[in-house]
Chains A and B, each alone.
Chain A
């Protein structure tokens, strides 16, 4: 019974990972850039919500409406000032510039807010601990379920947006060939700004989820980036539904790992990531051999 409970909790945790991976995966599929400041942006949003709740006394849900335009604008600026310039300079530069940015954000947060760990849990009433009893002894936290649902709605919504709307199609076209879309009357840099703004809105939701379900501190960005990255890679980078699967796999691996050994939580997550990488590398090799050796022979005969 305890294992079923653990797997269930792991899946709910995976919902959070899918939520935080959503923006990373979206940005990667649209701009081909892994934003190393992704986790730091999420923590920045978390601190903004915390500051609004602490100093202005507003509910985090109201606070989220306040930071929403700010985060979207931040996304536009981030795209205009940093990403646009660095993606033109080759594939190495975006990694270095976004990493530099993350160091700036993390340490600025530390400078402003100090080393204390914070949480939004005290500001959301009984939501932080309320739960439903599913079966005898299996409880699910209401907040975890809401976060899980938010991840599904967000990933599904993004998928629909990309396939059904004009802007979504422009974003996909720009991702494929940025220079050619200019000939079709699409302003590539405007489209990418919109994409960055959308990514940053998902980051603000992920930051709110982080702040409500757990504690965070100024240097919490790096682990969030790594979780998001692992979820995205396990699920197949750039695929939005794959990101959900990857998040679930990561969450379940961590919960099961924690059940085996107190240190196993993170180790199991990283190990699953490594196993997926190795499996994919050997699969590629088999596939390459198939194409190079077996396929020509089959054609010749």
Chain B
């Protein structure tokens, strides 16, 4: 493609290299259960769950402009749906996979009143929804109130099998979520999303169907949080409503995305890895660790709202995975012997 001496390109040499090597890394990781022990597999599963949480919350907040403090609603509902389905006799791993679909069905009608709310009202409104779902789940006799229950059907598999299966499902789900998000952001809907993020009124005035696009990303983020919840249940086994419906999950998501880079595809992944490392290093500090997370969220939102990766990306012009376009002076032009400074579209 070339317009008046400029060429529009998407894939650059570094981004192709990164895409190929991440695909190889993902494929390579499928062999991990044959190499490493269950403890490491379990830790890796946790990391994948964090990546799913960060990527989907980033899609919602960073691209859709919908900051939600209530994603724990879908995290908890995902786990609850798994418990319920498996109690109905569905195979336990099938239940884990079906839970996000059930939650997506719940989130769709919910999006109608919620998307009517303005920015900060939406944020707290979602929190109220999470509390409401928590209380309603407590009413189910199967859950026994705050006592909770366990995913007993996992007994059918021995520990090694269980660890490997959960790991594979988590890996595959993470890959699917990331690829789906990547495709979504590159599609016309993605362009609409980014237009809404940058200026909702302007986007609406040029014909972007703002509410429809937001609804798509709302349901996508709900399903993402739900699969994270059902995977967490599959690896933790016990289900206590208070733990799963805790606002702490959303504070983790906010930390990961703010530190990595709000509204940047790679940033959320970077944030998840940082959070995972921080938790491994300082998680045992308890209260001080939480104070640190809160302080980091506060400071990043005030002083570095684009996060580490977003700031790095905008300073250097590096984009490892192309969700946008590059506009470059065409090499055929005599004035542009080498690639000029590029602008991100």
Interface residues of A (CB under 8 A from B): 28, 33-34, 36, 82, 85-86, 89, 91-97, 99-104, 107-108, 110-111, 222, 225-226, 229-230, 233, 237, 263, 266-267, 270-271, 273-274, 277-278, 280-281, 284
Chain A contact residues: over half helix, strand or loop, or mixed? Answer: helix
Binds A, one of B116-124, B222-230, B321-329: B116-124
**Do B121 and A237 touch (CB < 8 A)?**
yes
Q: Which of B61, B125, B288, B301 contacts A97 (CB 8 A)?
A: B301
- Which of B67, B291, B298, B305 is in CB contact (< 8 Å) with A107? B291
A277 and B124 contacting across the interface, CB-CB below 8 Å: no
Q: Which residues of B contact A (CB under 8 A)?
A: 61, 65, 67, 69, 112-114, 116-117, 119-121, 123-125, 127-129, 131-132, 135-136, 138-139, 247, 251, 254, 258, 262, 287-288, 290-291, 293-299, 301-302, 305
B305 touches which one: A33, A89, A110, A263 (CB < 8 A)?
Answer: A89
Task: Indicate if the CB atoms of B287 and A110 lie closer than 8 Å.
Answer: yes
Contact between chains at B116 and A233 (CB < 8 Å)? no
Having A89-B305, A263-B139, A281-B112, one finds 17 other A-B pairs with CB under 8 Å, namely A34-B124, A36-B123, A92-B67, A94-B120, A97-B301, A100-B296, A100-B297, A103-B251, A107-B294, A111-B287, A225-B124, A226-B127, A229-B128, A271-B132, A277-B116, A278-B112, A280-B116
Q: Name A218's closest neighbour in chain B (CB-CB).
A: B287
Interchain CB contact (< 8 A) of B302 among A92, A97, A103: A97
* Given A86-B301, A93-B305; A284-B116 close (CB under 8 Å): yes
Q: B294–A104 contact, CB under 8 A?
A: yes
Q: Are B119 and A91 in touch, CB under 8 angstroms?
A: yes
Contact assessment for B294 and A85 in the assembled complex, using a CB-CB cutoff below 8 Å = no
**Count of A-B contacts judged by CB separation below 8 Å:** 125
A226–B70 alpha-carbon span in the complex (Å): 12
C-alpha gap A34/B296 in the complex (Å)? 20
Residues of B within 8 A of A270 (CB): 128-129, 131-132, 135
Contact A34 B123 (CB under 8 A): yes
List the 8 shortest-distance A-B pairs measured between CB atoms, nearest first.
Answer: A103-B294, A100-B297, A100-B298, A34-B120, A104-B294, A270-B132, A96-B301, A91-B119
- CB distance B120 to A91 under 8 Å? yes
A273–B130 alpha-carbon span in the complex (Å): 13
Which B residues are CB-close (under 8 A) to A86? 301-302
Bound together, the chains give a CA A79 to CA B254 distance in angstroms of 22
Nearest chain A residue, comparing its CB with the CB of B120: A34
Contact assessment for B291 and A281 in the assembled complex, using a CB-CB cutoff below 8 Å: no
Taking a contact as CB atoms under 8 Å apart, the answer to whether B297 and A233 are in contact is: no
User: A residues within 8 A CB of B301?
Assistant: 86, 89, 93, 96-97, 100
Residue of B nearest to A81 (CB): B302
Report the separation of the CA atoms of residues A93 and B304 in the bound assembly, to the nearest whole angstrom.
Answer: 11
> Cβ of A34: which chain B residues have Cβ within 8 Å of it?
120-121, 123-124
Asked if residues A107 and B128 are in contact (CB atoms below 8 Å), the reply is: no
> Which residues on A sit within 8 Å (CB–CB) of B114?
277
Write the chain B residue with the least CB distance to A108: B291
Structural contact, B120 and A226, CB atoms closer than 8 A: no
Given contact pairs A96-B67, A277-B113, A102 touches B119 in the complex (Cβ within 8 A): no
Do A99 and B297 touch across chains, with their CB atoms under 8 A apart?
yes
Q: List residues of chain B with CB within 8 A of the CB of A230.
A: 128
Chain B residues with Cβ below 8 Å from A104 are 291, 294-295, 298
29 A-B pairs within 8 Å (CB atoms) are namely: A82-B298, A89-B301, A92-B61, A92-B67, A92-B119, A92-B262, A95-B67, A95-B119, A99-B123, A99-B251, A99-B254, A100-B254, A100-B297, A100-B298, A101-B298, A103-B290, A104-B291, A107-B291, A111-B288, A222-B127, A222-B247, A226-B124, A226-B127, A267-B135, A274-B128, A277-B113, A277-B116, A278-B112, A281-B113
